[in-house]
Amino acid sequence: MTWWPIALMLVLTNPSFSVAQVEVPPEDRSDLPKFYFDALVFAGSDGTASRLDVYVQVPYEALQFVQGNNGYDAAYEEIISIFDEEKNLVAEKLSTEHLHQLTFPETADPSRSNVTQRFFTLSPGRYSLAIQVRDEETRKSMRSKREIEVRSMHDSDLAISDLMLVNQLRLEGNKRTILPNISGNVADLPEGFYLFGEVYNRTSCDTFEVSYQVKNAKDEIRFRESFSQAAVQGRNQLFVKINAASLPMGRYIVGLRATACRNARPERPLVAYSSRPFVVHWRGLPPVIDDLDAAVDQLTYTAESGELDHVKKAPSAEEKKKRFYEFWKKRDPSPNSERNEAMEEYYGRVAYANKNFSHYKDGWRTDRGMVFIMFGVPSNIDRHPFDSNAKPYEVWYYNDLNYRFLFVDETGFGDYQLDPSTPLWNIKSRKR
């Protein structure tokens, strides 16, 4: 596989400095989720506590299925633990989920999963939510955790619960059936998604003015809408249709505002607000990619001559997406699977560079970022940040390649640049 069209090489003679191991192995792709969960706060049944709804979604592809007499079976143990700010365990629920008599194509379908829902009654405050999923066949565990805030829904005359993303809403007479979106990714919903929340009204007002807006990661408003809805005292269910089909790949926040008593109290209407994030992320892409244009720019260290221009000059966003996929399909070591390990590794390196080498520009654009993305984890790094007779510098060693790179901080502000005497070499094939 031809990955690196060019590389930079510096050979240093008679090194007389101590060498240290690299602290972090960046190829650890722990950001790839094995399961998803969502935690939403609603008003409890009494006048003080709140209700925490926890949804856990375990994809079939994360489980080990065993062939039985009538199909394939799997089972997993699920533990949901809640800790207060002093790390005391305040609530815990354990269950075992069984999946029976599935066909082999069903077990391998990346779109299929098992979803559970658990309820907790908690006093308002901050908590830590920890979830463990353990496969019964392999005994391997998957863990995830999140800090959560349980808000009180009883402290004001108007309040909004946390907001749920809904993949599908079905109406059967007066009954509504909802299919929640737990991953937070709405890319596979071309007709849009619903936002569900509850508005708690303790006034005599019989109408809400509801408005929402969707902002991208740059805090730019992509669209907004407002409407009126009849209200009753107590609990009101609210469903809002969000058309996300026109949204490009990226991270977003949707905010929902309810206003009551504007006519009765124009000087001081009651206002309640709630928001939540969501993403548009195409299937088959690593989670670290959340902007197609940025991901295309970052191809510069692996694209062959003419390939980058071909992707960049696509006449439409859809065509750019197609060419981007084609670019990585040619480099996919396992083309029959949904995952593309080469793309995951490359953008894992980009993400690490952005996290660790950013200065006045993104880390992937720095010299250290460039070398790291092209060659991966150095065997060793020798750092000299405080030598009295020299500017701060680092030497990166790639022992298996017999390469060394010298970076010098010319300004003293952490902006390490590749030594200008480093020659540029054309390397036809490089595997790291």
CATH of the domain at 147: 2.60.40.2550
Q: What is the pLDDT of residue 282?
A: 85
Mean predicted confidence (pLDDT) in 222-235: 92
Q: What is the pLDDT of residue 423?
A: 55
* Domain span holding position 62: 33-152
Q: What is the pLDDT of residue 83?
A: 98
Looking up residue 164, the CATH number of its domain turns out to be 2.60.40.3880
Q: What are phi and psi of 407, to 5 degrees?
A: -120, 130
Q: Are residues 231 and 277 in the same domain?
A: yes
Instruction: For residue 76, tell me if it sits in a domain.
Output: yes
Q: Which two tokens stand for residue 347?
A: 């953008």
Query: What contacts 312, CB < 8 A, 6 or more positions away?
Result: 296, 320
pLDDT tens digits along 346-401? 999 999 999 999 988 999 999 999 999 999 999 999 998 887 788 899 999 998 88
Q: What is the pLDDT of residue 2?
A: 35
Which of 5-14, 131-140, 233-242 is predicted least confidently?
5-14
Query: What contacts 383, CB < 8 A, 6 or more positions away?
Result: 20, 394
Q: What is the pLDDT of residue 422?
A: 63
Q: What are phi and psi of 384, to 5 degrees?
A: -130, 75
pLDDT tens digits along 146-168? 999 999 998 889 999 999 999 98
Q: Are residues 261 and 231 in the same domain?
A: yes
Q: What is the pLDDT of residue 8?
A: 36
Top mean pLDDT of 77-91, 279-293, 394-408 is at 77-91
Point out the domain boundary residue: 233, 252, 282.
282
pTM above 0.85, yes or no: no
Percent of the chain residues topping a pLDDT of 90:
61
- Asked if residue 219 lies in contact with residue 277, where contact means CB atoms within 8 angstroms, the answer is no
Q: Which two tokens stand for residue 264?
A: 């009765």
| 67, pLDDT greater than 80 | yes
Instruction: For residue 1, tell me if it sits in a domain.
Output: no
Q: Are residues 91 and 220 in the same domain?
A: no
Q: Are residues 57 and 122 in the same domain?
A: yes
